[in-house]
Each structure stands twice: as structure tokens, then as C-alpha cells.
Amino acid sequence: MIDLLWFSLAAVCEIAGCFTLWMWLRLGRSPLWIAPGLVSLLVFAALLTRVESPFAGRAYAAYGGIYIVISLVWLAVVERSRPVWTDYLGAVLCLLGVAVLLAGRQ
């Protein structure tokens, strides 16, 4: 269960780091946004190392599903855009995939 916390925190940091570059390149914001973005991406990478998994690939695969769900939360909260029903369906399917991956990692 603690792995889900690490995955969620890592996803927020990854999305925030990438979003700063999006703001600079797509929204015309200051290039100074790159600095906190890089810090956020470094924290993201460090947080993924906290996951208890003997194989990085399996941890990253499970993380991918959590990343998708957190991305939709980001869409709703930060970008103020309401997800559509297909977003919710995709999120549920991803979480099922995460459960399968985490259940089989023993």
C-alpha cells in the first residue's frame, strides 16, 4: 500500500515537471520555469526508487497506471477541464492492470 503513495507522489512530481516545460514552450511563460521543473523531475526519479520491487521494469509498469489516473486528476484540478466518461473508464482499466502487476510481483 505504501508503494501506491510513492507512485502517486512520483506522478505528481513528474507531471509538474513536464507541465513547467509545457508552460514555457506552449504557453509562452518564462524559461525560468525550467529550473523548478528539473527539480521536480529529479524528485520524481528519486521517489520511484522507494518502491519495493526487485525489478525496475515491473515497478515502472505499475507506476504507469497510477500516472494515468493522477494525470486525469491534474487535468481536473490544475487545468480545470472535466474528464469525460472514457477517461474514467480508461482509469479504471489502468488501475485493474496495476492491481494485476502488483499482485504478481512476489
Averaged pLDDT, 7-32: 95
Instruction: Count, in order, helices (H) and strands (E) of the chain.
Output: 4, 0
Overall domain count for the chain: 1
Q: What's the Cα-to-Cα distance from 56 to each of 79, 94, 102, rounded to whole Å?
A: 31, 19, 13
> pLDDT tier at 62 (50, 70, 90 boundaries)?
confident
Average pLDDT over residues 28-53: 94
Q: Answer yes or no: are the C-beta atoms of 64 and 11 closer than 8 Å.
A: no
25 Cβ partners below 8 Å, 6+ apart? none
DSSP letter, residue 104 = T
Global pTM value: 0.85
- Domain holding 16, by residue range, is 2-103
